[in-house]
Structure 1
Amino acid sequence: MITNEFWLDRWKTGRIGFHQEGVNPKLIEFWPDLPKGSRVLVPLCGKSNDMIWLAEQGYDVTGVELSSLAVIQFLGDNDISYNTHLEGTLKVHTVDGLSLRIVEGDYFQFTETEFDACYDRAAMVAMPNSKRTEYVTHTLARLSSSACGLLISLQYDGDQQGPPFSVAENSVISLWGSRVQKITAENLALTNPQYKEQGHNTFEESVWRIQP
């Protein structure tokens, strides 16, 4: 059962293979050209440096993360000074000198709306099938009607149960509806031996554009 406690334990015990050092090259290549100051939402952000890259492009970035350890590590690893205040059950950490804040708490209790864009590298694939529809519905409700964004999904064979979970292409389309369009895909099992060693012939990473 994938619960909040499951993820908190993963951070506590350092089992965070989903974390990527550096900035995701697919973000740099495929991020849409948006006006400076656009509000960008990063659900289940972990301690991803993708948020710093987005903020440095001139966007107003909000990451939402359950684990206080992830938040502390993100702020500490990047030597960031910040201010913290409470908004209900959520802790909001506002970074000094960069248009970036981390909201610490349960994503499903985060209710701000009218974001101009969304970036999901590892959030949807972290959701078990039973929570995936709720996640996508909640995320779309945070976005404006004209919002766009970038989504990265995984689809793989073998016995692995996840997380990250395998999400079939037709499921992505069913979940996100007409707002999502696939722009590229790569079978990582052909280029990275670790996936072969894990028993995969297919470990496809797909990039999708979320459109107004």
Structure 2
Amino acid sequence: MITNDFWLDRWQTGRIGFHQEGVDSKLIEFWPALPKNSRVLVPLCGKSNDLIWLAEQGYHVTGVELSSLAVIQFLGDNDFTYETHQEDELKIYTVKELPLRIIEGDFFRFKESGFDACYDRAAMVAMPSSKRVNYVEHTVARLSPHAFVLVISLRYDGDKNTPPFSLEDSEVKSLWGNQIQKIACEDLAQTNPRYTEQGYTFFEESAWHIPLKNE
């Protein structure tokens, strides 16, 4: 069972293989030039440096993360100064150096709306099948009607019952709707030997977007 305690334990024990040290290459390649001050939502953000890259483009970035340890590591690793305040069950960290906030708490308790864009690298694939529909519905409810969305999905062979989960293209389309479009696909098993060493014959990482209305 993938519960909040599962993720808190992963952070507490340092089992965070999903964390990437650098900025994700697909974010840099496929993120559009949105208007300055656009509000960008990053669900289940961990301590990703993608947050910094987005904020440096001039966007107002809001990351949501369950683990207080992940939030504190992110702020400490980057020497950020910040202010905090509590809103019901959520703790808000506002970074002083960049237009960036981290919301500590359960993403499903986060109810702000009107975001202009959403970046999902490791959130949808972290959701077990029983929670994916609720996750996408909750995320879409946080967005403006014509928001840009960039989603990274995974598809691999084998029977793996822990995240990140494998999703078929048909499921991604079913979850996000017909407006989502696949824009790139890479078989990481062909470019990184660690995947073949783990027994995968293929490990596809795909980028999807819901484009801006005028694209």
CA apart distance, 1:32: 1.5
User: Does the aligned pair in 2 maintain the 1:55–1:99 contact within 8 Å?
Assistant: yes
Match of 1:34 in 2: 34
Alignment deviations for residues 12-40 of structure 1 (CA, whole Å, 9 cap, x no partner): 00000000001011100100120000000
Deviations along 1:77-96, one digit per CA (max 9) or x if unpaired, are 00000000001100000000
What does 1:166-185 correspond to in 2, within 5 Å? 166-185=166-185
| Counterpart residue number, 2:160 | 160
Counterpart position of 2:201: 201
- How far apart are 1:56 and its partner, in Å? 0.2
> Contact 2:117/2:143 (CA < 8 Å) preserved in 1?
yes
What does residue 187 of structure 1 align with? 187
Residue 97 of structure 1 and its aligned partner are, at CA, apart by 2.3
Tell me how far apart the structure 1 counterparts of residues 179 and 97 of structure 2 sit (CA, whole Å). 34
Deviations 1:56-89, CA, capped at 9 Å, x for gaps: 0000000000000000000000000000000110
Partner of 1:139: 139
Give, in whole Å, the separation in 1 of the partners of 2:44 and 2:179.
Answer: 21
Residue 100 of structure 2 corresponds to: 100
Q: Which residue of 2 aligns with 1:48?
A: 48
The equivalent residue for 1:14 is: 14
User: Residue 5 of structure 1 aligns to which amino acid in structure 2?
Assistant: D
CA distance in 2, matches of 1:109, 1:158: 33
- Alignment root-mean-square deviation, CA: 0.8
1:65 corresponds in structure 2 to 65
For residues 149 and 28 of structure 1, the distance between their equivalents in structure 2, rounded to whole angstroms, comes to: 14
Q: Helix, strand or coil: the match of 1:179?
A: coil
Give per-residue Cα distances to partners, 1:125-174, cap 9 Å, x unaligned: 00000001100000000000010121000000023223000011000000
**Structure 2 contact 63–101 (Cα < 8 Å) conserved:** yes
Q: Which runs of 4+ in 1 moved over 3 A?
A: none
- Asked whether the equivalents of residues 80 and 97 of structure 2 are also in contact (C-alpha less than 8 Å), the reply is no
TM-score (norm: length of structure 1): 0.98
| 2:151 alignment counterpart | 151
Q: Give, in whole Å, the separation in 1 of the partners of 2:193 and 2:158.
A: 15
Equivalent position SS for 2:28? helix
Q: Are the equivalent residues in 2 in contact too, given 1:32–1:149 (CA < 8 A)?
A: no
Sequence identity, in percent? 71
How far off its partner does 1:210 sit? 1.7
User: In 2, Cα distance between the equivalents of 1:149 and 1:68?
Assistant: 26
Which deviates more from structure 2 when the two are superposed, residues 157-166 or residues 30-39?
A: 157-166
Q: Letter of the 1:142 partner, please give it.
A: R
Q: What amino acid sits opposite 2:129 in the alignment? A: N
Structure 1: how far apart are the matches of 2:111 and 2:90? Answer: 11
